[in-house]
Structure 1
Amino acid sequence: MSVIGELVGRGITRVPRELECAARRPAAEPAAPAKRVVVVVGLVLAVVLIAAVYRTAGGLMATTGVLGLLLGFTLFHSRFGFTSAWRQLVAVGQGVALRAHMLMLAVACVLFAVVLAGGFGLGATPSGFVNPVGIPLVVGAFVFGMGMQVGGSCASGTLFAVGSGQSAIVLTLFGFIVGSVLAAAHHVFWFVTLPAGPVISLAELFGYPGALMVSLTVMGLVVAATYLVARRRNPPPVADPPTARGLARVWRGSWPIWVGAVVLGVLNAAVLVVSGKPWGVTSAFGLWGAKILGGLGVDVAGWAFWQVPANAAQLAGPVLADRVSVLDFGIIVGALVASAAGGAFVLHRRIPWRLALGAVLGGVAMGYGARLASGCNIGAYFSGVASFSLHGWIWGVTALAGAGAGLWLRPLFGLSNPKPTDSIC
């Protein structure tokens, strides 16, 4: 029986990144047979999604949906994680995944510099995510970093885990939505009562060439730091997942993590060109929660958060016309196709209560923290850094500190941390 089968048999069906790590076998073992029926279902859903988006919001939004599909496909096949990257570094000093982050950021920064400086966009003039540096950012990033370790996934990880059949992670998604709604309800305290922080753009300070050089230098220093940490702590090796061979590996995975890093950097730049804004994830969760509450008769439109003009327009429009929602739906369906093609799609039904509680609470913390920080590991960290906004780097450092606190909390919810003797992913 596979490791996944053993875990499911014991009722341990939680947290996609952990399940993925537990499922990693020697690299020589081939991928499981493709689940063709699920692949067909996924492809049909993809066609239906893009057709519905096209009918609702037109060709550019439909193209954005296609990019969402590709993001989900890439995230799953490269097993690209944010939660596990920080956990590996803090717990045992393994920096392989964090170095992949730096490669992804470097690719995105180069492409964003060209796109933003040249104003290359298919619709509106493209603009990055440049947000204030203040108390909400620091608090939100710390809470998010802590929540992602307790909930077992980040924002993008939650989406591709749901798509790949990790039904337990739906609890994390539920928590994400609840936390996003709570943060919207507290908007006045965080963004009106508290003093606003400065907006610091490296591109405005140094120009795009200078901002690119500064960003790449910081990334190089981070990479060097991971090697210094590894020299001192002697981290365990990183295991390889089973994979298809030859050209079939493109369709059936698993991809080297550096390939995923490059592709994600390119896809984020493509989202910027097509939709006018970089990749984001969590603003859609607040919208979904508000739509649900509105359907139940709650006057969310009267909240200060939803009276901000951009937010009011988002709430008034259809979900399939919301850029971030379309990307999120695409990621879920793209991961569904990828996991089925790789033979890894598995629906899980049982979940221990402590793990379920951790999933919900971690999701609430991430949803709340993302709204305070104006983004998550994607919108604030990935797209923020790529947009040459200082808030992106501060988000990453603060979330890393929050991850350290989250590691201390994980055993309370039946979750383990990597050990120096483990082979990790």
Structure 2
Amino acid sequence: MKRLPLAAVMAVFLAWLLWTVSVRQAALFAVGIGLGAVLAGQRFGFTTGWRMLIEEKDASGVFGQLLLLALAAALAMPLLGTFPELTAALGPPSVSLLIGAFVFGLCMQIADGCGSGTLYKAGMGIPMNAAILPMFALGSFVGSLHLGWWLELGRVPPVGLVSAWGWPVALGATLLALALIAVGVRWYVGRANARLQRATQPLWQRKWVVGAVLLAMLATANLVIAGQPWGVVYGFGLWAAKLANATGAVDLAQNWFWSQPGNAARLQETVLLDVTSITNIGILAGALWVAAAKPVSAKALTGTQWIVALVAGLVLGYSSRLAFGCNVGAMLSGISTGSIHGWIWVPLAFAGTIFGLRIRRRFGF
């Protein structure tokens, strides 16, 4: 589809949301379009950035993510400290978080995308990611069915730095931690490239910097409009849950996760009222709009690669629910709004990604 008719369809849908649903949902759809356009236009991939660091000793992608985290925290934490109606992306430190984050980091490299990566690449029409998306949704739903059992294995209450320390101290500690990580990453790539006798790539590249600035602004807009941080994977699980509920495949009224008041209410409402779902739809639209100008080519996969990718997508969704989010919901939104679980998620997911890259190489992705 060409850009002009696509833009017209998006504008009509936006107007329809504004007229029949709510101003908030229409605004979130517009934010989602922006997120999708930035992710696809700048190819701002969380999965790619980690892979570049490990395989190519190129820190520009990780530095872009650190900049994003710093900017998002600088914008979000004062808002959270000033307006109590806004909520942080809090998740409980738990056994499920430890296992889920590690497995997620492993599978996202095989599937070539985290939650947002899978979404925007599916919107761009990349066949593997388009096929993985429904598997991701199914896995997230199955994970939600089992989450109560996983939490019984051990958990502690969520910890929010903004509420515990106040936003100035929380922000200062967050920025200091991010700066220390940046120093460590810079030292690592410098030493690794010296050992390999090659030049270190520039730490700052335009596409990562522009992407970080725009994503931080859009994530903040999402926080203000929705009243909660940007998330991705909840929408996937909700889509599968509504399908299962409509067909009577599972009795969700008896499930620990879906019997929670907020989740039970969303099952009965139109998906267009869910803030995560409407943003996800916008991301798909924004990525499609970018791809309309310059279609992307994708590598053909073997039968074995298809099977491995689809299984990875299923497990990716399952582990994302156990870990209370992906690179967006757990890492970006968690850290930028002061949740301790975001800081726990990152090193475990990064450890998982090291093993995931080995599997990725084994199957020739």
The alignment's TM-score, normalised by the length of structure 2, stands at 0.92
Q: Identify the range of structure 1 (387-396 vs 293-302) with the bigger mean alpha-carbon deviation.
A: 293-302
Change (3 A) 1:141 1:91: same
- Measured after TM superposition, the shift of residue 204 of structure 1 is 2.9
Match of 1:139 in 2: 99
Match of 2:226 in 1: 275
State how far apart, in whole Å, the 2-side matches of 1:116 and 1:288 are.
29
Deviations 1:65-107 (A, max 9, x none): 1000000011111110111111122223321111111100111
1:179 to 127, 130, 139: 139
1:293 to 244, 248, 255: 244
Match of 2:130 in 1: 170
- Measured after TM superposition, the shift of residue 55 of structure 1 is 4.1
Report if the CA contact (8 A) 1:268-1:278 is conserved: yes
Q: Output the amino acid matched with 2:306.
A: A
Deviations 1:313-354 (A, max 9, x none): 11111011111010000001001112223x2x2476953212
1:67 counterpart = 2:58: no
Change (3 A) 1:225 1:287: same
State how far apart, in whole Å, the 2-side matches of 1:361 and 1:255 are.
35
- Measured after TM superposition, the shift of residue 385 of structure 1 is 0.4
1:338 to 290, 298, 301: 290
Q: Output the amino acid matched with 2:270.
A: P
- Measured after TM superposition, the shift of residue 237 of structure 1 is 6.5
Match of 1:3 in 2: none
State how far apart, in whole Å, the 2-side matches of 1:222 and 1:407 are.
22
1:375 counterpart = 2:325: yes
Report if the CA contact (8 A) 1:179-1:365 is conserved: yes
Secondary structure of 2:258 counterpart: helix
2:257 to 301, 305, 309: 305
Q: Which runs of 5+ in 1 are unaligned?
A: 1-36, 240-253, 416-425
Secondary structure of 2:345 counterpart: helix
Report if the CA contact (8 A) 2:81-2:163 is conserved: no
Q: Output the amino acid matched with 1:72.
A: G
Match of 1:258 in 2: 209
- Measured after TM superposition, the shift of residue 117 of structure 1 is 1.7
State how far apart, in whole Å, the 1-side matches of 2:135 and 2:201 are.
31
Match of 1:364 in 2: 314
Alignment of 1:1-400 (within 5 A): 37-119=1-83, 125-191=85-151, 193-234=152-193, 256-302=207-253, 303-341=255-293, 343=294, 345-346=295-296, 351-400=301-350
State how far apart, in whole Å, the 2-side matches of 1:375 and 1:259 are.
24
CA RMSD of aligned residues (A): 2.0
Secondary structure of 1:86 counterpart: helix
Report if the CA contact (8 A) 2:36-2:285 is conserved: yes
Task: Report the structure, 1 or 2, having the larger helix content.
Answer: 2
Change (3 A) 1:163 1:255: farther
Q: May I ask how many residue pairs the two structures share in their alignment?
A: 358
Q: Which runs of 5+ in 2 are unaligned?
A: none
Report if the CA contact (8 A) 1:147-1:363 is conserved: yes
Deviations 1:254-287 (A, max 9, x none): 9621011011011111111111011000001111
Change (3 A) 1:407 1:236: farther
Secondary structure of 1:313 counterpart: helix
Report if the CA contact (8 A) 2:88-2:160 is conserved: no
State how far apart, in whole Å, the 2-side matches of 1:161 and 1:237 are.
29
Change (3 A) 1:410 1:347: closer
Q: Identify the range of structure 1 (254-263 vs 171-180) with the bigger mean alpha-carbon deviation.
A: 254-263
Report if the CA contact (8 A) 1:179-1:366 is conserved: yes
State how far apart, in whole Å, the 2-side matches of 1:236 and 1:131 are.
41
- Measured after TM superposition, the shift of residue 156 of structure 1 is 0.6
Report if the CA contact (8 A) 1:71-1:267 is conserved: yes
State how far apart, in whole Å, the 2-side matches of 1:52 and 1:136 are.
40
State how far apart, in whole Å, the 2-side matches of 1:99 and 1:348 are.
27
State how far apart, in whole Å, the 2-side matches of 1:403 and 1:395 are.
12
State how far apart, in whole Å, the 2-side matches of 1:129 and 1:202 are.
11
Secondary structure of 1:304 counterpart: coil
Q: Output the amino acid matched with 1:333.
A: A
- Measured after TM superposition, the shift of residue 172 of structure 1 is 1.4
Q: Output the amino acid matched with 1:399.
A: A
- Measured after TM superposition, the shift of residue 300 of structure 1 is 3.9
State how far apart, in whole Å, the 1-side matches of 2:192 and 2:364 are.
26
Change (3 A) 1:76 1:236: farther
State how far apart, in whole Å, the 2-side matches of 1:90 and 1:230 are.
9
Secondary structure of 1:232 counterpart: helix
Q: Output the amino acid matched with 1:78.
A: Q
The alignment's TM-score, normalised by the length of structure 1, stands at 0.80
Change (3 A) 1:265 1:159: same
Q: Output the amino acid matched with 1:111.
A: L
Match of 1:27 in 2: none
State how far apart, in whole Å, the 2-side matches of 1:204 and 1:284 are.
27
Change (3 A) 1:204 1:89: same
